[in-house]
Chain A
Amino acid sequence: MAAKADFETSDGAGGAEVRFTGRLTLARLGDLPARLDALGPIAALDLSGVERIDTVGAWIVTRTANAHDARISGASEEAQRLLQALADDKSEYRVHRDRRPMWARMLEQLGTASAGVWHELVGIVDFFGAMLIALFIQIRARRRIRWNAIVTRFQAVGVDALPIIGLMSFLIGIVIAQQGAVQLEQFGLDVFTINLVGRASIRELGLLMTAIMVAGRSGSAFAAQIGTMKLTEEVDAMRTIGVSPMEAIVLPRVAASTIVMPLLGFYASICAIAGGGVFSWIGLDIPPLTYIQRLREIIPMTDFWAMLIKAPVFGILIGVTGCYSGMQVRQNAEEVGRRTTSAVVAAIFLVIVLDAFFAVFFSSIGWN
């Protein structure tokens, strides 16, 4: 079995003479570099006892020789070649970036993050404007609308999402009815569970949950798709051919999500009401017919209009943030992931903020 890298020292004129033995390779190095550093002045390095040497071994020898200004002797032909290759280049090779102190980096990060939020907001507004201009140009130049692309996205964003959104809304309907009933029963008002489920679903929750689901499902997909297209230079290729990426990639996606949101929102509301109805029937002994009858009495049309007004706005928001984030991807694959995350976070955040504004607005115009 071949020996581990080792050395023996003997005293000579002007310092120790080090004689290496065994295999001077990375696999056999062990703690040799540390022990070598611990030695005093070294006058000579003898490689005649070395069985084999690799680039790391050659580096250690060169480093030690340079540090102590020592002679190297007894190198085999193989070792000679490796040492020669090292001796030629004396420039300083850097490995790490310059690092600043901790507090400076923290301060810098805080500043970058704050500026980033501002840039992101300005960027989204800017992008939205650019998209509107592209839409305007497309309509005025009477260029054909890309129905195929819109329909493909419609399928992906809307039709494919039906099962999951339906199931989610149905379960949420059950949860609201059950929690509401527990509280209202205390006053003997469990029939008001219907009011709770009906109005909450139509006006707020159905659409809000749908928007969150679409942002997670499709906003992220937009960002990842477009980001990958940016990396593979597909977007640049489009520009050189004369196809506007806004027109070909962004508009169909935003259009699809805008059209889809009211439909999905309504569908989700109905599913939630169905969930509440099933619970009322089984848990509260309210027959389905009574349930529906009561819903017709208590849900005002304004709730429905409120939902229909909010839905396309949320759709635009999700589409625009997704596409914008995708378009911001530069450089590398990690960026795609980062931008996708930020697309979803920004979309959900903005949807909830806007929903709050809408709620205040609608109640102040008397749509209670």
Chain B
Amino acid sequence: MSEDEEQAEIRHELASAEAVRPEEFDVAIRVRGLVNRFGDAVVHDHLDLDVRSGEILGVVGGSGTGKSVLMRSIVGLQIPQAGEIEVYGKSLDTIADEEESRDLRRRWGVMFQGGALFSTLSVAENIQVPLREYYPRVDQQLLDEIAAYKVAMVGLPPDAGPKFPAELSGGMVKRAGLARALALDPALLFLDEPTAGLDPIGAAKFDALIRELADTMGLTVFLITHDLDTLYATCDRVAVLAEKKVIAVGTIPELLATEHPWIQEYFNGPRGRAAAGCNQIAERR
């Protein structure tokens, strides 16, 4: 490559890195009037939601209320029937330019419920996939170092890097999925049921990990969960999905003050009270 071409490429890279600036936005994700229908089944009916920059927003709701569909709509895997979704002021609908859409995608990491690791690649190679895709000129040595570092960051054991997904336990798959989601140092992290299927000890550790990573890296986190302990341990605010809308958003004490029967049942049911009690004990310590 000649020097001119290289310069041009660097300029281009710099320019494209400018396109999306997470630090300038107070609201990371803005959803307005979202409608999702599958045949006759209406999942979302004019749903509104704001996710503030730097917060961990827990999204709760009964089974089938469209929590995962909401996440899939935001990251562009599901095309809604109507409504606007803006991530850092940009809407995937209106982005025509492939470059611009890649810029936006680089700003977020998604961790799927089952980990969704590429089964033919080792954990380290899984982590390197997004890096190679967006930064093809980074040399192998540095890629390996970054992969090793991410493996350490999510609390995987030192020998996990060369292992294949089939050789990992459920908890390790989740951590590896998280490591891949964090590969590009995203500003925005989507987690779909991160603690589902983990034992209570593993789940508590994972909660602590999410909180710690969010604080260290200044992440905005969109966290779908069923786990009340996760809500108490990690989330700044909680959004409740019911009746095809977000019926309430707020801190847990704020939600407890609302009258809505589902929210009352959710937080004041036997499991809700147990989680709240544990949290109080933990805080007193």
Give Cα A33–Cα B14 distance, bound, in whole angstroms. 18
Q: Which of B35-43, B63-71, B151-159, B276-284 contacts A (4 or more CB under 8 A)?
A: B151-159
- Whether A301 sits at the interface, judged by CB under 8 Å, is no
Q: Is the CB of A82 within 8 A of B216?
A: yes
Q: Are B13 and A29 in contact (CB under 8 A)?
A: no
User: Of A41-49, A54-62, A110-118, A283-291, which stretch is located at the interface?
Assistant: A54-62
B120 interfacial contact with A, CB 8 Å: yes
Residues 219-240 (chain B) with a chain A CB within 8 angstroms:
none
Q: Which residues of B contact A2 (CB under 8 A)?
A: 14, 18
**A26 touching B152 in the complex, CB below 8 Å, given contacts A55-B217, A81-B215, A332-B165:** no
Size class of the A contact interface (CB-based, 8 Å): 20 to 34
Contact status B124-A95, CB under 8 Å: yes
> A322-353, CB under 8 A of B: which get 1 and which 0?
00000000111110000000000000000000
How many A-B pairs have beta carbons closer than 8 Å: the answer is 88
B218 touches A33 (CB 8 A): no
Q: Which residues A32-74 have CB closer than 8 A to chain B?
A: 33, 54-56, 59, 63
* B269 lies within 8 A of chain A by Cβ: no
Inter-chain contacts of A28 with B (CB < 8 A): 14, 17
With contacts A30-B10, A81-B216 taken as known, whether A332 is within 8 angstroms of B164 at the C-beta atoms is: yes
State A81–B145 Cα separation when bound (angstroms): 19
B144, A26: Cβ atoms closer than 8 Å: no
Give Cα A33 to B146, complex, Å. Answer: 13
Query: Nearest CB to that of A33 among chain B residues?
Result: B142
Q: How far is the CB of A36 from chain B (nearest CB, A)?
A: 11
Given contacts A93-B161, A94-B158, contact A54 B185 (CB under 8 A): yes
Q: Are B119 and A82 in contact (CB under 8 A)?
A: no
Query: Could you tell me if A92 and B185 are in contact, using CB atoms closer than 8 angstroms?
Result: no
Let me know if B135 is at the binding interface, CB within 8 A. Answer: yes
CA A277 to CA B184, docked complex, whole Å: 67
A25 CB to closest chain B CB, in angstroms?
A: 7
Given contacts A78-B218, A332-B164, contact A91 B14 (CB under 8 A): no
Q: Is B1 an interface residue (CB 8 A)?
A: no
Residues on the B chain within 8 Å of A144, using CB: none
Which of A28, A92, A96 is the most central at the interface, judged by chain B CB atoms within 10 Å of its CB? A96
Do B17 and A27 touch (CB < 8 A)?
A: yes
Residue on B nearest A330 in the bound complex, by CB: B166
Q: Report whether B146 and A56 are in contact in the complex, using a CB–CB cutoff of 8 Å.
A: yes
Cβ-defined partner of B162 (8 Å) among A4, A78, A92, A96:
A96
Residue in contact with B153 in the complex, picked from A55, A95, A96, CB distance below 8 Å: A55
Taking a contact as CB atoms under 8 Å apart, the answer to whether B148 and A94 are in contact is: yes
Contact: B158 with A4, CB < 8 Å? Answer: no
Q: Which residue of A lies closest to B128 (CB)?
A: A95
Q: Is the CB of A96 within 8 A of B144?
A: yes
Nearest chain B CB to A333's CB is how many angstroms away? 5
Question: Is B138 interfacial (CB-CB < 8 Å)?
Answer: yes
The verdict on A93 contacting B158 (CB below 8 Å), with A30-B10, A332-B164 known, is: yes
| CB proximity of B4 to chain A, nearest CB, Å | 16
Determine if B10 and A4 form an interchain contact, defined as CB atoms under 8 angstroms apart.
yes
A95–B151 CA distance with the chains assembled, in angstroms: 9
Residues of A within 8 A of B153 (CB): 55, 85
The smallest beta-carbon distance between A109 and chain B, in angstroms, is 18
**Contact yes or no, A26 B185, CB < 8 A:** yes
Closest to A333 in B: B119
Within 8 A of A (CB), among B101-144: 119-120, 122, 124, 131, 135, 138, 142, 144
**Is B185 a contact partner of A93 (Cβ separation < 8 A)?**
no
Q: Is the CB of A334 within 8 A of B14?
A: no
A26/B184 in contact, CB under 8 A: yes
Known: A4-B14, A94-B148, A331-B166. A55 touches B185 (CB 8 A): yes
What is the CA–CA distance of A82 and B149 in the complex, to the nearest angstrom?
12
Q: Which residues of A approach B to under 8 Å, CB–CB?
A: 1-2, 4, 25-30, 33, 54-56, 59, 63, 78, 81-82, 85-86, 89, 91-97, 330-334
Listed from nearest, the 7 A-B pairs whose CB atoms lie closest are: A332-B119, A93-B148, A331-B166, A54-B185, A95-B124, A27-B17, A97-B162
